[in-house]
Amino acid sequence: MSAPVSDTMSAPAVAELNGERWTTRWGRRAASFSVSAALLLVLLASTPLSLPLAVLSDAVRRSRWAATRFLAVALVYLGCELLGLTLGLVVWLPRALGGSRARFIERNFRLQCWWVCTLFEGARRALGVRVEVEGADAVATGPIYLLVRHVSLADTLLPTRFVSAQVGLQLRFVLKRELLWDPCLDLVGQRLNNAFVRRGGLDTPADVAAVQALTEDLGPTEGVIVFPEGTRFSAERRRRTLERIEARGDHEGLARASALQHVLPPRLGGVLGLLDARADVDVVFCAHRGLSGARTFGDLLSGALVGRTLHIRFWRCPAGEIPKDEAGRVAWLHDQWARVDAFVGAA
């Protein structure tokens, strides 16, 4: 797997996009790196006790070994964090000694793919989850804008696992800043061309500008990924969203949003910003169902994902078929998002 690398955005430029000081970054890393290492050590040391207790609990509750599986997932996750940080140091050393930035970026891209695939496949096997993918040819070539449904902790892994690792597309992510508390996402994610924005979507000019900057020199082996909902779907968040739209007096928007039963209405800022920046880029949608029981770590412990099938569908909209005016783009986006909702509801 290899992908040509855009060398136009330096590490300081990415840091500036993400809007944080050096002291803030390394203060967070000191805390998150230490906590992850400590948790792994505690988990390993307590396994002789925690594993029998988990097995006993599962036997009593008849929970399809949910607690035991959760323990395995926790070990995989924390192990991936520690090994990922170690490899992150290894790939940094040649760069520190004057190595090529392009080679440095490519090595970090490969590290990202390895980390995500190891974590995803380890968790999938521990939980007994099956995967079915439709429309994989939609992501065969770039450049693309990839719009993904967001409902769980796990769906942030899907683009790397089923796009980057499969066909070598280097994706530039738009993610919530809170995810910087994940050690490997923080370390490797900030070396690559990603934007970490505030929770709640892309409604400010600064966040939209950060996303638009990701389109610079976007090549045929690259893409930008956005989660248009801005946050994970839940029935309560859907209710609050509808109330806010109604309070604004937006009757047309309320009718559109009310028709969506399984997804939140897309926030327009990020998607329209991308289309304004590069109208010649195709848009790919990623709909999926089967992860709604994994919104939190508590859901994993409950066994909600055990034995499920994850269905993923991609489809591509050529740039030439996307309206050029804002009103047309808004209507088009809502129509496509209704297709996402219909796919989720078809279970």
Query: Which run of H or of E encompasses 332?
Result: helix 326-345
Q: What is the 3-state secondary structure (H, E, C) of 261-310?
A: CCCCCCCHHHHHHHHHHCCCCEEEEEEEECCCCCCCHHHHHHCCCCCCEE
Q: What is the pLDDT of residues 281-320, one digit of tens each?
A: 999 999 999 998 777 777 777 888 899 999 999 999 999 9
Segment 323-330 mean pLDDT = 96
Percent of the chain with pLDDT over 70: 93
What element of type H or E holds 146? Answer: strand 144-148
Q: Which residues pair with 284 in a beta bridge?
A: 146, 316
The confidence score (pLDDT) of residue 13 equals 42
Q: What does the alpha-carbon distance between residue 96 and residue 132 come to, in Å, rounded to a whole number? A: 42
Burial class from Cβ neighbours inside 10 Å (0-12, 13-18, 19+) for residue 1 reads exposed
Angle between helices 268-277 and 326-345 (to 10 degrees): 130
What is the structure's pLDDT at 302? 80
CB 270 within 8 A of CB 208: yes
Domain 11-25+103-345, CATH:
3.40.1130
User: For residue 12, is pLDDT > 80?
Assistant: no
pLDDT in tens, 50-98: 999 999 999 998 889 999 999 999 999 999 999 999 999 999 999 999 9
Q: Which residues contact 171 (CB under 8 A, 6 or more apart)?
A: 146, 159, 160, 163, 164, 222, 223, 224, 225
Residue 222 or residue 202, greater confidence: 222
Q: 226 phi and psi, to 5 degrees?
A: -130, 145
**Mean pLDDT, the chain, as a whole number?**
91
Q: What share of the chain is helix, strand, coil (3-state, %, to 5)?
A: 60, 10, 30
168-211 confidence digits (pLDDT tens): 999 999 888 899 999 999 999 999 999 998 775 556 788 888 88
